[in-house]
Amino acid sequence: MKSISLYVANNSYLTKLHPFTKLLYIAAAVSIPLLSGRLWMFCTWIGVSLIILTSGKLLRKTFPLIAFSFTILLTIFLIHGLFHTGNTTVIFSIGPLHFYKEGVLYSAKIGLNILNMLLSFAVFILSTKPSEFVEELEKKGFSPRFGYIINSVFQIIPQMIGTMHTIADAQRSRGTETEGSLFTRAKALIPLISPVIAGSLINTRERAIALEVRGFGSGIKRTYLTDHPKSKVDILCRLILYAAILIAVCWRITLCLI
Amino acid sequence: MKNLFKTKFNTACIVLIPTCIGINYLGKLIASTLKLPLWLDCIGTCIGAILGGPLIGAICGAANNLIYGFTTGDNITLIYALTSLGIGLAVGIMARLSFMKKTSGALLTAVVGGLTAVVISTPLNILFWGGTTGNIWGDALFATTQASGFPVWLGSFLDELVVDVPDKVLTLLIVFAIVKFLPNKLVSLYTSDDTIEKLD
């Protein structure tokens, strides 16, 4: 069963960093360019994320993520480049289409912001095991019930996809058409989706009983299987990131005051 | 009325949440396999809201986007956690006001849920995407409104409206059909207005 998590267990230094350090990196990478509001700041942080991803041997895994949102970035560029309401100065034309400076700048800012967010999240997502992240959250006082919710999503989804494939095959063998016109495809929706949903809801009853028997509802303090102490690298990274955020905030405040 | 937000946080309800998140994922998967021009990504949230109440619905919605945002690289969904939370809350409240008993009530719930989604999503769309939604039909409409000089917020509002309301109508009709045929021994695990009678 294929997991839906994108975690890559390649044992690089990134996977060994504490999850919270990587979270702080996201906070810094997203907030600092927004605070400064400069286009070159977005580019700098995109560069930093790319360097980190390369050094963690994760760059190849990043491309599918970018490709996923590339079409949306393209739509934004086209719509605003061509039709943005403040458009006055033409910068270039392709045939009858005129691209305007204001719209292109506006879409560049949105596009860079999205790309920056994507890449900084990729640093976290590709190098952090979800269950490890949940365990660290629980150690900080996060409710173990919510921890269970997150962990079990990763077990339930591959299971449900498996069930769905079984049901899809069964329905096809009974003659359900899953390809063709929009109406044919829409008609296939109900026989495909309702057995999976009803079945998985009915399963929750048994799961609830099984968990209850194993002491899920107990309020006693839990112990943890693994220990992940902060390393010196973690502390150093956090200090640098806090300092960077602080500088950006101070710079913004001085800008407002002058 | 005082039962509107009453929620049982027992094991059954906690187990319901990951299942609903899984259902959301499946809905989205099936919609993309069948290449339907809709999202269908909140079937689970609506089921959670109807069975467990508004609070469970809200948790399902928010947790759904947060989990996918932090693990599957689809991190743009993170900001739409607010939208999902709103849908869960709205549908849950409508269900508690017993609108989900008849098909007409289900349609009304769908419209309320869809409008909630539109109102919350539009500012987010403008802020992060410059008004587009990533759906072909909606974005085509957005491009038309922008070309004819409408303000961005109105274009984006219409863009979201033409996609979200039909999406929620179909979602809630599916949900209505499924919830109606769920066995009573399952549904009774979540109902919060039951009373315990003693025989002695």
Q: For chain B, what is the mean pLDDT?
A: 87
Residues A212 and A248 in one domain: no
B152 touches chain A (CB under 8 A): yes
* Residue range(s) defining the domain that contains residue A43: 17-128+229-258
Spatial CB neighbours of B138, under 8 Å, sequence gap ≥ 6: B132, B159, B160, B162, B163
Give chain A positions within 8 Å (CB) of B37. 182
Residues A139 and A202 in one domain: yes
Residue with tokens 């005051």: A257
Taking only the tens place, the pLDDT of each residue in B42-97 is: 999 999 999 999 999 999 999 999 888 877 766 677 888 999 999 999 999 999 99
In a domain, A255, yes or no: yes
| B185 with A205: Cβ contact below 8 A | yes
Cα B59 to its chain centre, rounded Å, is 11
Mutation test of the interface with chain A: which of B33, B38, B71, choosing the one with the most A Cβ atoms within 10 A?
B71
In a domain, A153, yes or no: yes
Which domains are assigned to chain B?
11-187 (1.10.1760.20)
CA distance A56 to B108: 51
Query: Can you state the percent helix, strand and coil of chain B, rounding each to 5?
Result: 70, 0, 30
If contacts are CB pairs under 8 Å, which of residues 3-42 in chain B contact chain A?
9-12, 14-19, 21-23, 25-27, 29-31, 33-37
Counted domains in chain A: 2
C-alpha R_g of chain B: 18
Angle between helices A182-213 and B152-180 (to 10 degrees): 60
Q: Which pLDDT does position A106 carry in this prediction?
A: 86
Taking only the tens place, the pLDDT of each residue in B107-160 is: 999 999 999 999 999 999 888 877 777 777 778 888 888 888 888 888 889 988
**DSSP summary character for residue B117:** H
Residues A33 and A76 in one domain: yes
Residues A84 and A206 in one domain: no
Q: Which pLDDT does position A65 carry in this prediction?
A: 81
**DSSP summary character for residue A222:** P
**∠ at Cα A77 (A89, B159), nearest 5°?**
110
Residues A147 and A118 in one domain: no
Cβ neighbourhood burial of A105 (10 Å; 0-12, 13-18, 19+): middle
Whether B2 shows a pLDDT value over 70: the answer reads no
In a domain, A27, yes or no: yes
The token duo for A146 is 């919510």
Segments of chain A scoring below 70 in pLDDT? 1-2
Residues A122 and A141 in one domain: no
What's the whole-model pTM score?
Answer: 0.86
Taking only the tens place, the pLDDT of each residue in B14-43 is: 999 999 999 999 998 888 888 888 888 899
pLDDT band at B6 (very low <50, low <70, confident <90, very high): confident
Distances (CA, A) of A214 to A31, A210, A217, B11, B121: 43, 7, 9, 11, 41
Residues A237 and A119 in one domain: yes
Residues A90 and A29 in one domain: yes
What is the value of ipTM here, to two decimals?
0.85
Q: Which pLDDT does position B159 carry in this prediction?
A: 87
Q: Which pLDDT does position A110 carry in this prediction?
A: 86
In a domain, A208, yes or no: yes
Of all residues in chain A, the one with the smallest CA distance to B21 is A153
Neighbours of A87 (CB within 10 A): 19
